[in-house]
Amino acid sequence: MEVKRKEKTLAGLFLKYVAFFCVSTILLAAVVLLLMICLSAAGLLLPANYAEVKLSENMVQIRGAGDSLEEWIPQGCTYSVYNADGAWLRGNFPAQEQKSAWEHYEKNTMYAEYKGYYRFIPMDDGNVCIVKYYLIMRFSNEKLNELLPAPELLMPILDIILFILNAVLLSRRFAGKVKAQLRELSVITEKISQNDLEFETKISDLKEINEIMASLGRMKDTLKNSLTAQWDMEKQKQEQLSALAHDIKTPLTIIRGNTELLKEREQAEEESECVEYILENVDEIEKYLENMRQVIYGDRQKTDKVVLHCESLKETFRETAKQLSAAEKIPVSFGVRPIDGRICCKEEEILRAWSNIVSNAVEYTNRQRGIMISIRTEYKESRLYFVAAVRDWGAGFSARDLQYADKEFYSGDASRHDRRHSGLGLAIAKRFAEDQGGFLEYKNCSDGTGAVVELWLKAENLQ
């Protein structure tokens, strides 16, 4: 029997760490205070009134000390000896304090600067000893007094340091706890983004994380069902198109065979024209079937990529455009300039894509004005591209064309009366361009006449 884990909330987890932080802070402050008490009990720390008590104990010795006065002055005190007229005789007061200390004696004022105190002690030889002391804790070791702040300052400093350290460590622990819970969410979202849907969601200690896990699990199942349905639909579509192409191929072969038999016989001129017309249309249907095959199977022929110089490819593109325009007896103009660089691509696919683009332009342009070819290299997003553009002077793209022109079987003619178009030219060109690391762009001309289609292919500079 599976034991159900008790869920926690983020608010509860946060309050738990806040409570732990408060308790640990108080305990750390108590530890610092206890440490000070232990050091004082061990004699390593001197109490704040140590100098005052010691002066009272050594009063008799100080009065009659004479030249051995300094050994009776308590640790941490400074002193000076004055004659009856106030002249400084000896001691370790700083020069700027020697006169000030005597003035305090004359005024019988015991409060010194910087929260210090004076003790005035008449000596047996008629002189006056003035001792300055402070009511603060000190280390019994003078070296420690020189290296460290006074214990009364050291204690709050330690408290602050421990407070900050405690806050940092607990915040990192809290963040690590939450991060460990979120890491699994990151893994799941990454798998979903890669369409890797064969996984099981895990159970977390946090209620909020479990809710997100459950939501992602539902998203995974919905996406999986959607993709499965889409894959099934695409497979069914592919099978239907494949069957259709096969079914068309059989009667088409019969038509071609019988027509060629008729062509071999002697016929009237009108009958001969009909036979030629039939054979031409058979050729068109076979081209249509070939295009269908490319869409269905992706035309995955085992062709290797080759490295082409951009200048060489430019000349090949020019020659192709000349031949296609000459076949339709329309003019073609070129706006090209010397270019540099190279392209690694499948030459046959690129030439087929270019032929499709030029053929479309030849078909739609004004036959008197023809088409214009421009070839250049251009940087886009810090990457070098070989750009071949075709401009025509036809009717241009409609709003619907701009949205669907590169989709399979879109012919730009909703009634489908135009039988010359299979709707695959730009779709195939786009796919070939993307396979070579490029893309296809098409738009209407800014002057309102005709359209431009640009083939962008990833290139690199010559080293």
Mean pLDDT for 155-175 is: 87
Kindly tell me if the per-residue pLDDT of 398 is higher than 70.
yes
- Phi first, then psi, for residue 111 (nearest 5°) are -85, 120
Q: Among the listed ranges 200-204, 254-258, 404-408, 447-451, which one has the minimum average pLDDT value?
A: 404-408
- Long-range pairs of 62-65 with CB within 8 A, sequence gap ≥ 24: 62/121, 62/123, 62/129, 62/131, 63/121, 63/122, 63/123, 63/124, 63/129, 64/123, 64/124, 65/123
Overall size of the chain counted in residues: 463
Summarised one tens digit per residue, pLDDT across range 77-131 is 899 999 988 899 888 898 888 888 998 998 888 888 777 899 998 988 889 999 9
Q: Cα–Cα–Cα angle for 343, 298, 308, nearest 5°?
A: 15
Q: Is 94 exposed, middle or buried (0-12, 13-18, 19+ CB in 10 A)?
A: exposed
Q: Is the pLDDT of residue 419 over 50?
A: no
- Can you give the pLDDT at residue 81? 92
pLDDT higher than 80, residue 136: yes
The three-class DSSP label of residue 234 is: helix
For the segment 47-76, what is each residue's pLDDT rounded down to a tens digit?
Answer: 888 888 888 888 888 888 877 888 888 888
Confidence (pLDDT) at 62 = 86
Q: Between vectors from CA 451 to CA 447 and to CA 452, what angle results, nearest 5°? A: 110
- pLDDT band at 179; cut points 50, 70, 90: confident
CA dihedral sign of residues 51, 52, 53, 56 = positive
395 close to 364: Cβ distance less than 8 angstroms? yes
How far apart CA 103 and CA 133 sit, in angstroms, is: 17
338 sits in which H/E element: none
pLDDT score, position 66: 77
pLDDT of 415 > 50? The answer is: no
Give the tens place of pLDDT for each residue, 28-45.
Answer: 888 888 888 888 777 788
**Given a cut of 50, is residue 421 above it in pLDDT?**
no
181 Rama class: left (phi>0) / alpha (psi -120 to 50) / beta: alpha
Output the pLDDT for position 463: 62
Q: Is the model's pLDDT at 4 over the cut of 70? A: no
Mean pLDDT of the chain: 79
Beta-carbon contacts of residue 247 (< 8 Å; ≥ 6 apart): none
Residue 408 CB neighbours (<10 A): 19
411: confidence class by pLDDT, cuts 50, 70, 90: low
Q: What is the pLDDT at residue 407?
A: 64
Q: Does the model's pTM come out above 0.75?
A: no
Lowest mean pLDDT among 214-228, 241-255, 350-364: 241-255
Average pLDDT over every residue of 195-206 = 70
Least-confidence region, from 124-128, 345-349, 381-385, 448-452: 345-349
In this predicted structure, what is the pLDDT of residue 371? 92
Q: What is the CA radius of gyration of the chain?
A: 49
